[in-house]
Amino acid sequence: MNQLKKSIHKNTFNEDTMLAQIYQRAEMDGLRSKRSNHRKEPLMKKKSIFVFGLAVVVLFGIVFANSLNLFKQDTSNVVAAIVAVDINPSFELSTNSEGIVLKVEAMNEDAKTLASSDLVGKPVAEAIDLIVQRASQSGFIDIEDLEDDYVVVSTVLMEKTAEAVRDQLHTQLQDRIRLSDTLQSMNVVELKAERIAQFEANEKEIPLGLYVLKGMVNLPDGTAMTVKEFFSNAENKEQVKNKVQLTEATQEKVRERIELALNKLENAGVDTTELRTRLQNASVDQMLQIQSEVRNKQEDPGQGGNDNGNGDGNTNDDSGNQQGSGSDSGGSTSGSGKGS
């Protein structure tokens, strides 16, 4: 009896023991499934595992995203290409993969006379345009005279730079030419150059573009000449025309400079009626022939010049029956390069 009292007293104040006994009796009587004996622990475990797994996934995502940012380096200040601009003066422009100028280096004494520090940070095509403008303003070239002027643009890619960067720089330059009166007045020659050629040219103190061009026609390294002098030779032009990308001065700009020259001749008392008539409907080749004739008149205003009036190369100078030699620098071979 005393033991029963003790048991009742003990279990009465032990709720957990009593509850366990009730569950056990219920299971024995078939009133409760043994599965329910797990109570809430498995559910809590499942929730814990889910939360832990979710945390792992989120953490992995954060680490992966950060790793992408780490490997995606900032290349805005990394030199991807060097663009040499040779007119005389000559410059080398270091650019990033987007074509933004990072560094400007004057390659000869003429280049040092032109302002260039402000070119850093500009698109390379704009920088080329400004170099040509400043060369013209300083008298290195005259885009309004009848002499064909050339700018040679040579692109050297750095070791790990994709060829697509060169294509992008070419496209940017072509877009700039379409917007620039100055570049439309020039013959723009584009070259592909290798890093070794740049090293050799710098070592020999020869502008890169001219160094590559001279190699194309096998001129000795010691041959001193400017870009303009190189292209004034018809044979040189013929040899390189299929090896370079040539964008010639536009027909409109050629016409404008011929008209300016005719105005000067008229002011000097020369009759230009026949030349103006021919110029009105002249094709590109005919225009270049007229340019050659006008240039000859400028050199010797006293000659008869235009009384033949047929534009077939009879320019009434001493070599009028040799059309080719009379127009070596007048663009006859330049015309053959058109359409490249």
List, for residues 239-284, the tens digit of each pLDDT value.
Answer: 998 999 999 999 999 999 999 999 999 999 999 999 999 999 999 8
Tokens of 250: 């536009």
Local confidence band at 218 (pLDDT 50, 70, 90 cut-offs):
confident
SS3 297: helix
* Cβ count near 98 (within 10 Å): 14
Look at residue 22 in the predicted model and tell me its pLDDT: 67
Q: Which of 41-50, 75-84, 252-261 has the lowest mean pLDDT?
A: 41-50
Q: For the residues 108-113, what does the mean pLDDT come to? A: 95
Look at residue 249 in the predicted model and tell me its pLDDT: 93
Look at residue 324 in the predicted model and tell me its pLDDT: 38
Residue 36 pLDDT > 80: no
Residue 172 pLDDT > 80: yes
Q: Which of 32-41, 78-87, 252-261, 312-321 has the lowest mean pLDDT?
A: 312-321
Local confidence band at 118 (pLDDT 50, 70, 90 cut-offs):
very high
Average pLDDT of the chain, as a whole number: 80
Look at residue 170 in the predicted model and tell me its pLDDT: 97
Round to whole Å and give the CA distance between 227 and 186. 12
Q: Are 79 and 169 in contact (CB under 8 A)?
A: no
- The secondary structure element, H or E, covering residue 293 is helix 284-299
Q: pTM for the whole thing?
A: 0.68
Tokens of 140: 């290195």
**Non-local CB neighbours of 320 within 8 Å, separated by 6+ positions:** 313, 314, 326
Q: What is the pLDDT of residues 311-332, one digit of tens each?
A: 444 444 443 343 433 333 333 3
* Cβ count near 38 (within 10 Å): 10
